[in-house]
Amino acid sequence: MNTEIITANSLITLHYRVTNSDGFEFISTFDHRPATLQLGTGELATPLEQCLIGLPTDTCRSFDLPPDAAFGAHNPDLVQRIRRSDLPDDAMPELHANITMQNTAGQQFTGIVRERDEDGLLVDFNHPLAGKSLRFEVDIKGIL
């Protein structure tokens, strides 16, 4: 039997689950059809892709990723107060909603509204999983 090995640009079919240290499940395909993902295109986060590279087909594995190996530490500098007057079209998103802002260079950043008051918003531009330990479970079905 010739077992294929996952590489950095493989097109793979797999079941996967991402949970945090409290067991909260962010995503799972185990109760549904397996996912088909192209590695190296951003369909799966880079830290999770790195766990898959080098694995053979027909493999079940779990990976425990500390915050620095997953999505990095939570950076307090990425939590910023935005004045109401600086919001696009005088919009005022709801608490816990996503908001996309653009810097002077034209780059867009998405954050989560953590606080909201009459003066503006407190927005967290960290990745939603930054600062969290994760468990990544996979069942590799095949390489296409």
Please report, in tens digits, the pLDDT of each residue of the chain (144 residues total): 567 999 999 999 999 999 987 888 989 999 999 999 999 998 888 889 999 999 999 999 999 999 888 888 899 999 999 888 887 776 778 899 998 888 888 888 899 999 999 888 999 999 888 888 999 999 999 998
Residue of 38, 37, 42, 17 lying closest to 28 (CA atoms): 17
Secondary structure in 3-state letters for 40-98? CCCCCCHHHHHHHCCCECCCEEEEEECCCCCCCCCCHHHEEEEEHHHCHHHCCCCCCCE
Are the beta carbons of 94 and 107 closer than 8 angstroms?
no
pLDDT at 100: 87
pLDDT at 115: 94
Which domains does the chain possess?
11-72+129-143 (3.10.50.40), 76-124 (2.40.10.330)
Contacts 24+ apart (CB under 8 A), 55-59: 55/5, 55/6, 55/138, 55/140, 56/3, 56/4, 56/5, 56/6, 56/140, 57/3, 57/4, 57/6, 57/140, 57/141, 57/142, 57/143, 58/3, 58/140, 58/141, 59/138, 59/139, 59/140
The whole-angstrom separation of Cα 72 and Cα 126 is 9
pLDDT at 3: 76
pLDDT at 65: 92
Q: What is the pTM of this model?
A: 0.72
